[in-house]
Chains A and B, each alone.
Chain A
């Protein structure tokens, strides 16, 4: 209790002293962003690059531009180990920090996202689950506080199926083919299943769902089944140590690696390097380019790493998941910038940032200004659509680095959006939400 007494004592002192010091300096021009990270535990190989990419971009904004429109960004990392109970503790600890509270929270775990979604509307903190979390929440009419742009698991699954069809020579060529989905047995891994099932019915391919239990080191039985089925394509939703094991297993079973596609959480350097040459040809989905050939990376080296302020190792800049963190930080920053056009260049509350996220319109022109031309796709978020329907790229591992091997593949919006809308009603009703009228939002 001592800490509490100390804190409440300090708070009381501040409350008393506050009005007395009338000429005291005004509220600092700072905005606080909580960072839920996992740099330890079985998911650390995936968690570390993301966290570094995140922090580096915010450091870059502060160092190069003095923050966003003069408002400095502050943040605090909190270790979750990808565990849901630690996630709650971190969230409760950080949500009220900074002069205006948490601006936006990035849970970086589908499990933690599911826990934070009900709290978001109560605490007025937007949840930004970029390309993960609850897909149904992409319907902004039911879930005003949750954002999953640039794209969702369902869109991704449909885009990957489209890619497979393209490789086979046309949308009707998948008929009769065998596709296996290997997934982490958790809300995250299961997320893509309903879409795959629908597509299997519509396009006539044979789908087998194979679950791998947490943490995913033991996959012998799974791959025995894969061998028996002898599929034409494998799609994988893995995370952490599961990915490395799966890639190794596939390589040792002699599966055609270029017919093995991981989702965007299953295609990082750390996933393929342990399998050595066997991983050559392995593919992964993504929504941004790998590597460091962009202006933003040059700036990162110049303003962050050369000044010794980098979050991690210089060599790790440009890894797939590092760039993921970078994109996530950039989208968060742009949402804040959008909100500032309405509320002014001052520290914003979570509620104001929510408006910014909902009205985000990242054009090709703006991407060029940010130094990320060709790095990621333009995006427009609306009140109805919190996903932005972003297209997907396929990258391939050549033994040394990832290279993009496809054009932007658009998801099957006609299939996915209808499913999202049905699911949103269901999930929204569970939480006692009502649908809002987007025509009245401005």
Chain B
């Protein structure tokens, strides 16, 4: 009833090709984006911004990156943690070498550096596929972290081997470092993820995205119709690593404040991969849903017993959280193997017929 397209006629190519052709969708997304910019900084307390929303946004960006590579171009990668580390260490080196440089520019530049590294590690993808490629990208993960741990130049010869986000401001407002308020950091992360999602959405709708999907669905057929595999695959690796690199820089500069290589270890790669799988392969919305699931559900489960007035010992609570969380992952994968994004799509289709399904 509310969500009905009857009577909406698209009379121009532009309106037919819009990202959200249905006005209800369009208004909903615009409203949600505006609300996300306005409401949390005003209403949420520091805990919510700092421990829940900021990591959610950063992981969403990383999940979009991996989704472009794995979901759209079909190249399985376990190197996400390594590429995020490249972004983080590059941002640290850049901003300590050139303190005057705008920090948002630093984020984008470190994304480019990560993209370059991603290109190099994407070269084997021309010859190896599937699980074998996953193992090859695993090499990136381990090699990059080993490198950052081994060469003290990357951490400016700090004896502890940690990188710390210094205070940096944009237009007079402190954005990173200990003195930046949680709201400012949240808005920065949100702005980057909104722009990133918009660009990604347009990429996958256009020629580039179509060639990725052609490669994913059958590479030989794609090659025959004129898609160049090397270029397409490398582009996917490069752009995906760019997103991961920016997300990695944000992870240290907007969330952790200070980090060591352990923060980017293999568990992070798996975490982002699970976000993509649970959220939905080949869906931008799915990246957000997956990130929300992986970031928010454990926090909710940790706090739920207390909110209900149960005081469990922390160890038991943690184990309970792990069990329920694992159970939920299995449940969702059985109920909807195509991810949460597909569930959302089904809901929309049902809503279209509601209240008179026939």
Contact = CB atoms under 8 A, between A and B. Distances in A.
Residue of B161, B177, B300, B315 with highest tally of chain A CB at under 10 A: B315
Interface in A385-442: 423, 430-432
Given A114-B160, A115-B258, A39 B318 contact: yes
A190 B159 contact: yes
A8 B149 CA distance: 44
A363 B242 CA distance: 58
A111 B51 contact: no
B256 A115 contact: yes
B257 to A, nearest CB: 5
Contact of B259 (A84, A110, A193, A211): A84
B44 A85 contact: no
A93 B265 CA distance: 25
Interface string B243-266: 000000000000111111011010
Contacts of A211: 149
A93 B52 CA distance: 10
B166 A89 contact: no
A143 B128 CA distance: 52
Residue of B55, B160, B161, B166 with highest tally of chain A CB at under 10 A: B160
Interface in B150-166: 159-162, 164, 166
B354 interface: no
A44 B151 CA distance: 31
Nearest to B259: A84
B47 interface: yes
B260 A111 contact: yes
Interface residues of A, number: 42
A187 interface: yes
Contacts, number: 107
B50 A88 contact: yes
A225 interface: no
Contact of A114 (B45, B164, B314): B164
A186 B259 CA distance: 10
B161 A85 contact: no
Contact of B166 (A79, A92, A431): A431
Contacts of A39: 313-315, 318
B102 interface: no
Contacts of A79: 302, 314-315, 317-318
Interface in A8-35: 8
B178 interface: yes
Contacts of A191: 159-160
A187 B160 contact: yes
A110 B299 CA distance: 23
Given A93-B303, A118-B257, 6 more contacts: A4-B43, A40-B318, A78-B314, A84-B259, A89-B299, A118-B258
